[in-house]
Amino acid sequence: MKEKVTTLKDRLNDISRRNRSIRMLKVYNKWNFDLSEVGKINLIPQDILNAIIKHNSKVEIVKQNVSDEQSLTLSGKLTALYRNLKAIEDETGLYDLYIGYPFISGAMLDGTYIRAPLFLHSVKLERVKEHGTKWVLQPMDDAEPMLNRPLFLAMQKMSNLYVPDEMYDEAVEQSTEMDFLGWLTWLKKYNIDIKWSNSTDITPFTNLTTDLIPTFKKGQFQLDNHAILGHFPQGNSAILKDYEDFLQQLEEGDPDFGLAGELMKVGEESSTFTTDNLGSGERNVDTPLKKEKKSSLC
């Protein structure tokens, strides 16, 4: 059942170039925030990553100061992101906010350029109003770090890359290692041709247009030391959360999904679900006589 639920969940993924989880060319305030920018207010971006990724602890990222123009600018950017996330949550019930770190860029075998997070760390953006406004990131208690699934589903399709389930499982531990050389070794184990930009400091995210996209050999990728707080959708439907809940239920040893479980089994010999609610042997079929009666009543 786990394999079936995972397959159904994957069908909801958008693996087109429009998906920020696969190809992110620019930072837009309503969708993303470049964590390297906190260096402008004398904070260290790496400290924020360490707090979230290594220590799983809450961390302040911006404190608004009316006498500091940079803090006001950054607070404005976070306000745009915060409001957009809230609007999406109110409409769909989904809250997809992650720290994407590090980034992977390159070209698929079909030539498609990609630039997206390798790992995703689920967080909540909180606005705290006391003695001014400050912005805080809170790790989500019920979410483990994960491999950017839409990206690797796209690589499976467009680069003929085989991504076994154990790669997703190993990503939980790999994502907290904060070791670029270790990540290179791990990715190469799965036949990904990848190098590292050799930047040990978190670097600002450069906005690109289609005519400025870097050139890569087909099938070649590199790791980039970018850290982006952003909305990286892992599916294009609100139903996705239901599948995630089902998978969590299976992890906890409870395979009973009620009516939804019976619907997933339709067509299987073990299914007891029937769409016939007229009793045994009867079907709601429009015969020619029924159609004639219906037309005479219109």
The three state secondary structure string of 197-262 is CCCCCCCCCCCCCHHHCCCCCCCEEEEECCCEEECCCCCCCCCHHHHHHHHHHHHCCCCCCCHHHH
pTM for the whole structure:
0.77
292 found inside a domain: no
The tens digit of pLDDT for each residue in 152-185 reads 999 998 888 999 999 999 999 999 999 999 999 9
Q: What pLDDT band is residue 127 in, cutting at 50, 70 and 90?
A: very high
Residue 132 scores a pLDDT above 90: no
How far is 298 from 285, CA to CA, in rounded Å? 19
Range of the domain at 128: 20-235
pLDDT per residue over 228-253, tens digit each?
Answer: 999 998 765 445 455 455 545 656 67
Say which range, 96-100, 163-167, 220-224, 262-266, has the weakest mean pLDDT.
Answer: 262-266
Per the model's pLDDT, the better-predicted residue between 43 and 282 turns out to be: 43
Note whether residue 97 is domain-resident: yes
Which of 166-170, 204-208, 285-289 is predicted with the least confidence, judged by mean pLDDT?
Answer: 285-289
Question: Per-residue pLDDT for 75 more than 90?
Answer: yes
pLDDT above 80: residue 103: yes
In the structure, what pLDDT confidence band is assigned to residue 256 with cuts at 50, 70 and 90? low
Q: Is residue 90 part of a domain?
A: yes
Assess if residue 274 is contained within a domain.
no
Residue 215 included in any domain: yes
Tell me, yes or no, whether 47 lies in a domain. Answer: yes
* 44 — pLDDT class (breaks 50, 70, 90): very high
How many domains does the chain fold into?
A: 1
> Does 181 map to a domain?
yes
Digit-coded pLDDT (tens) for 181-202: 999 999 999 999 999 988 889 9
The mean pLDDT of 127-149, rounded to a whole number, is: 93
Residue 125 within a domain: yes
The predicted pLDDT at position 58 comes to 97
Q: What is the arithmetic mean of pLDDT over 51-60? A: 96
